[in-house]
Structure 1
Amino acid sequence: MLPLRSVLLVTLVASTAFASNERNKLSVRAILLSEHPGDATHRVYVKGQVVTTLRFEKPVDPLKTKLIGWEGRLEPLAVVRNKVLLEPLHDLDDDEAIPVVVSLVDGTEVPFLLRPPGHNEWSWTDQQIDVFKNHESNAAMHAALLEALKKNDALIEENQRYRKEENSEDHALAALLATGAVVQTPFRVVDRFSGEDGDTKIDAQVLQGKGKVAVVFKLKNVASEQPWSMKSVRLVTLDKGRERAVATRSTVREIAPGGSGVLAFVVDGGAFVDDGKLTSLLLEVYRHDGMRQAYVQLDPALIAR
């Protein structure tokens, strides 16, 4: 049995420490306006203290462009020629929706609805939205082509990742651990921890295997309304912050209030080697809102034979 202090678990829901890429993904996208009256109002996903720009082909009329019911939640709306700048003072609540009506100098009115980003890992914050009324303009066609290529590249990347994971021993082991089938794996439990922050209860296990280390989180969402989901996981060397691969599996995509779920992570022993020397690793779990929910420091003694 390893010494109890060979690993360290800390729950940090109040922490504002973000990985460099852990704020909601900033996105530039295009919107092609439709003249069909039944089309839904376009949604704009905004985040507190992040500027979102609506960019149009023609100049915007600042006197007729307005936010509705925005007081105390956004900075005053700003119009710069063909651009509208929006900046929430803080994150919008899940049920908040703020209407915006943009009027162009040619009399065209375009309605939008400001919404907070979702809690899923594929959610984003709009950094810029290019709005096109003339679908046949060169700029509109170019934007539509880039959007299609971006979606295609994302699908290709996702399919390649799924195929790689299907053949990955570490992902297979993580799947077994997530379902509780520890006896079917080469791992044994060497440490246990638990923590609670008011919204989430966590029971954690650190497991040791042949040249591999695993961490299993059993989570219970005790929040009254907010579902819990993992936004991302990050494994880095403790000294130099170098990214390392980690296999991840979970029993559920989202944990409803009152519900429970399991996250399992498997780390290959090679991840502990940095510049030819063994080093400690830091496994960080970020929840739906980008906050760091928990971290585990893994000592290289875990892979010692």
Structure 2
Amino acid sequence: MRDFPCSRLILLAVLVAFAASAGDREPQIRNVTFPWRPDRLARLVYVAGEVATVLHFEKDVDLARTKMEGWEGRFEPLAVAGKVVVLVPLYDLTPEDRLPLVVTLVDGTQVPFTVTADKATVDHQVNLFWDPETMKYLRADLDNALKREQGYREENERYAREENSPDHALAALLATGSAQQTLFRRWRTYVFKDTEYLDSEAVATVYSGKGKVAVVVRIENHGTRAWNLDEARLTSADGFWLPETKKLNCAVRMTPRSIAPGATGAVAVVADRSAFVSESGLETLALQLIRDDGIVQVFVKLDPSLARE
């Protein structure tokens, strides 16, 4: 059993934060329709460093009564032109950053927002509608419904593929503590203890299998917020910190899906031997478990010999 050095965890957290730069995020144009008055609910706006985010309204904006708290030193001054407000962060925010923004229209309507960040996307433009009697509102509402339907269809297709996947079945057994029902052999265990940056403890057990390798991570959440998995990132060990490093296929199962404060859960990852094959031959892989706040909870290197012939 090995303890993972605190200094390595800090380094990995920095590297992952670097990897989550705006260049890795998918720019999106969103239509936001309000089911009631626009002043009743603060909507999220996702921004990224040095990337302009445009908020487009149905009516002209009053610059003098449009304010964002805490923008000094973090954003360019708000730019307002007609029906448009432009936000330009000087650097990346984190998902934990929450800056209140209130946009006031010339008719006195106030529209509240919460400016934050998302690791996967950034808002290029947000179009806002709240009059359900207009054609623009109806068109935006229909477009949102079609996008949701497409997302549900893709999710159902993914679930159908996973149901027929032996690797996902193995991962499900491992996540529920049924390793004895598989042919995997325990190889090595690593302990990742609480640190200044981590409020949870993880024990990662690496298993060797016939043509496969598995990692089972038991997580104790000692923090005050739920522990959620953002990504199980499997890549080549060479350059694993680089955003352009190719992500490799693996099966992932977590139980429960979210680990409450004081609770314990497990994440199981199974990879086929084919993941170790590169143009230059077999290569060592790196597995990172990344929390939803961007912190790397677990980092393990996997030798190709673990996937036995």
| TM, length-normalised to structure 1 | 0.80
Contact 1:16/1:291 (<8 A) preserved: no
Contact 1:44/1:126 (<8 A) preserved: no
In the TM superposition, what whole-angstrom CA distance separates every residue of 1:251-290 from its partner, at most 9, and x where no partner exists? Answer: 1122222221110000011111112721111212110112
Q: 1:29 to 1:82 in 2, by over 3 A?
A: same
Structure with larger RCO (C-alpha < 8 A, sep 6+) = 1
Identity of aligned residues (%): 36
Give the alignment of 1:114-133 within 5 angstroms. Answer: 114=114, 116=116, 126-133=123-130
**What residue is the counterpart of 2:268 in the other structure?**
264
How far did residue 179 of structure 1 move? Answer: 1.0
Q: 1:172 to 1:304 in 2, by over 3 A?
A: closer
Give the alignment of 1:130-141 within 5 angstroms. Answer: 130-133=127-130, 135=132, 139-141=136-138
Contact 2:254/2:266 (<8 A) preserved: yes
Contact 2:204/2:215 (<8 A) preserved: yes
Higher helix share: 2
**What residue is the counterpart of 1:179 in the other structure?**
176
Contact 2:202/2:297 (<8 A) preserved: no
Question: What RMSD, in angstroms, separates the aligned Cα atoms of the two structures?
Answer: 3.6
SS at match of 1:164: helix
2 CA distance for matches of 1:14 and 1:276? 29
2 CA distance for matches of 1:74 and 1:112? 19
Structure 2 counterpart of 1:294, from 292, 298, 302? 298
1 CA distance for matches of 2:20 and 2:111? 34
2 CA distance for matches of 1:174 and 1:165? 11
Q: Which has the higher mean CA deviation after the structures are superposed, 272-281 or 172-181?
A: 272-281
Give the alignment of 1:226-237 within 5 angstroms. Answer: 226-237=225-236
Structure 1 stretches lacking a partner, 5+ long = none
Contact 2:288/2:296 (<8 A) preserved: yes
Structure 2 counterpart of 1:282, from 277, 286, 299? 286
Aligned length: 293
2 CA distance for matches of 1:155 and 1:168? 20
In the TM superposition, what whole-angstrom CA distance separates every residue of 1:165-188 from its partner, at most 9, and x where no partner exists? Answer: 111111111011111111101101
Structure 2 stretches lacking a partner, 5+ long = 240-244
2:209 is equivalent to residue 212 of structure 1: no
2:56 is equivalent to residue 55 of structure 1: yes
Q: Which has the higher mean CA deviation after the structures are superposed, 230-239 or 11-20?
A: 11-20
2 CA distance for matches of 1:191 and 1:167? 29
2:150 is equivalent to residue 149 of structure 1: no
In the TM superposition, what whole-angstrom CA distance separates every residue of 1:71-122 from its partner, at most 9, and x where no partner exists? Answer: 6586343313322133567758869672513214xx252422316469xx9x
Contact 1:77/1:86 (<8 A) preserved: yes
SS at match of 1:15: helix
2 CA distance for matches of 1:258 and 1:133? 42
2:111 is equivalent to residue 111 of structure 1: yes
SS at match of 2:297: strand
2:190 is equivalent to residue 193 of structure 1: yes
1 CA distance for matches of 2:231 and 2:275? 18
2 CA distance for matches of 1:229 and 1:11? 18
In the TM superposition, what whole-angstrom CA distance separates every residue of 1:113-143 from its partner, at most 9, and x where no partner exists? Answer: 316469xx9x865443111355566654543
Structure 2 counterpart of 1:170, from 162, 167, 172? 167
Contact 2:175/2:266 (<8 A) preserved: yes
Give the residue type in structure 2 aligned to 1:252: P
| TM, length-normalised to structure 2 | 0.79
Structure 2 counterpart of 1:252, from 237, 253, 256? 256
